[in-house]
Amino acid sequence: MNDKDVKIEVVFIGKPQWEAGWPYLGYDNTKTIDSIKKHLNEKFRRTTFNYNEIVTNYNVELIKEIKEDIEGADGVIIFTIGHYGEPGIVQAGVELIETRKPAILANFIYAGDHTFTKIFSTIKDKGFQIVFLSSQNIEHFDKMFENMFNLMRLRGKKILVYAKDTIEMNWQVILGLFNPERRQIANNHPEFLNRVGEMRSDEEFEFYTDTIGLDQAHKWRKDEKHYNKILKSVFDVEMIRGDSEEILEYYNKVNIDQANEIAQKWTKNATIVEPTEKTILNSAKLYIAFKNILKDKEIDIFAPDCGTFLLCGAFPAYPCMAFFELSKEGKYGICESDMDSAISFLFGLYLTGRPGYVSNQTLDMERNQITYMHCVAPCNLQGADGPQALYDIVYHGETHFLGASPRVIFPIGKPVTTIKISVFEKKISIRTGKIIDNIVDEKGCVSKMLVESNVEMIMKNYDWSTFGWHRVTFIGDWKEDFMNGAKILGLEIVEEDI
């Protein structure tokens, strides 16, 4: 993750010491302010705080100076620590929020309640990027502070996208995916090879693929320029396009001995192994190619259109094991060039410190269960310091006889929080659940996380046009963090399961 420096403007709003009001006549603001400063400086050492003179009336020059400071900051915290009926301090708070920087409005009860309530009542429902809390204890605000500071470190991130705008079939590469498994397929499923031969001989044949944004993973294709504009303005994240041809170039330069070492490690650590050594070796070569691309481009998250690339011959191997291995190093591949899932993944990663599981889903309404399934998941879903997932190496789900995919074992009994961000709509869906089993079934994708959830409500609230099919699941109860993060970014929250 990025250790970007974060600068936060801190503003105190209260009453002069010898005005009548709350907390009381003669109250010394200095003690409260000093204790807040001490807490912030000691608790959040990676964050730079700029503290302003307390606002006790509407001082035009002071408010102007604070606004200028906020403009150069990543966000602002406004503490309401007193009141005495002076409307100018409320107006000051409102104007500081109107700078439209991410803001936290924090009130100490029996002190700034009047000011806090009037400020919030004035600005609520106006689309500002703000979270708020009123409490007695400074530590109760820490989750909001941490959520803001972590999200600010997301700014400046780049997501590398590999996606074709026109499709050409490269049968030499496609057949290279078949060759390692040809003998087994010929023995068990000869009709499969026969059909592939017919496809190849048909000069007009190509698999269905999407290049204009019809697929739920490709919403960004509908208006790439506008999508990038929103991505930049809301998240300060940039999508950059890569040339898919360079993947083959990097792949062909991989040292075979190095790839062999990786493949042997994968096989040794897996519980079950289905594909041939050659298939697994090719995936190891692709892992090294990806690793070198990301290193050269100084990027740690990318989203290749893997399904399309496999169908048209732009991938020389299945990427699933490569993504799995990269996750050990804090590098992440997002399937199907799904940018909404990629930004959802980053949003969750920076808030929780844990990678998410990008997946399809099935809804079993009779049993109140969801199966989140894909052909890859990060190995470290419980965080860098948590246990790494056990896995089998099996054939890819949809293509059934080809490729190497990790069938990841998920931790039963753990709570999960599942999200999806729609960049175009500036919305986030949130739902919760609990892992109750790992499913092994040859149909669909190979890694199957079975989750207990409120499926009936999810179905009633389902909005395909906004959120599509993919979801991103994080192990742990992160609902409050995600809701705080959404408010900080100005996203509309859709709670799918209530």
Mean pLDDT of 29-56: 97
Q: Is the per-residue pLDDT at 2 higher than 60?
A: no
List the chain domain ranges: 6-152, 158-495
- Candidates 285, 269, 472, 267; CA nearest to 377 is 472
Question: How confident is residue 343, by pLDDT bands cut at 50, 70 and 90?
Answer: very high
Residue 64 pLDDT > 90: yes
C-alpha to C-alpha distance for 93 and 63, rounded to whole angstroms:
9
Read off the pLDDT of residues 309-337 as tens digits, 9 standing for 90 and up: 999 999 999 999 999 999 999 999 999 99
Average pLDDT over residues 257-282: 98
- The closest of 49, 54, 41 to 15, measured between CA atoms, is 54
pLDDT value for 1: 52
Q: Are 380 and 463 in contact (CB under 8 A)?
A: no
Residue 143 burial (CB < 10 Å; 0-12/13-18/19+)?
Answer: middle
Residue 22's pLDDT is: 98
pLDDT for residue 128 is more than 60:
yes
Contact 52, 79 (CB under 8 A): no
pTM, two decimals, is 0.96
Element (H, E) at 269: helix 256-269
Average pLDDT, the chain: 96
CB-neighbour burial class of residue 185 (10 A; exposed 0-12, middle 13-18, buried 19+): middle
pLDDT-based confidence at residue 218 (cuts at 50, 70, 90): very high
pLDDT band at 201 (very low <50, low <70, confident <90, very high): confident
Statement: residue 149 has pLDDT above 80: yes
How many angstroms separate the CA atoms of 106 and 130, rounded? 10
Q: What is the CATH number of domain 6-152?
A: 3.40.50.9100
Q: Note if the bond before 23 is cis, omega within 30 degrees.
A: yes
Nearest residue to 417 via CA among 355, 372, 473? 473
Average pLDDT score over residue span 206-216: 90
> DSSP letters along 29-41, please?
HHHHHHHHHHHHH
Mean pLDDT confidence for 419-437: 99
Q: Torsions phi, psi of 329, nearest 5? A: -105, 10
Q: Which tokens sit at 400?
A: 């059934």
C-alpha separations of 85 from 113, 172, 235, 447 in Å: 11, 78, 38, 60
In 3D space, the residue among 47, 84, 53 whose CA is nearest the CA of residue 66 turns out to be 53
pLDDT band at 117 (very low <50, low <70, confident <90, very high): very high
Q: What is the pLDDT of residue 407?
A: 98
Return the half-sphere exposure (C-beta side, CA atoms, 13 A cut-off) of residue 119: 36
pLDDT of 4 > 90? The answer is no
Q: Does residue 196 have a pLDDT over 90?
A: no
Interacting residues of 108 by C-beta distance below 8 A, sequence separation 6+:
32, 79, 80, 81, 134, 135, 136
Average pLDDT over residues 148-168: 96
| Cα–Cα distance for residue pair 255/263, rounded to 1 Å | 13
Whether the pLDDT of residue 199 is over 90: the answer is no
Write out pLDDT tens, residues 232-263: 999 999 999 999 999 999 999 999 999 999 99
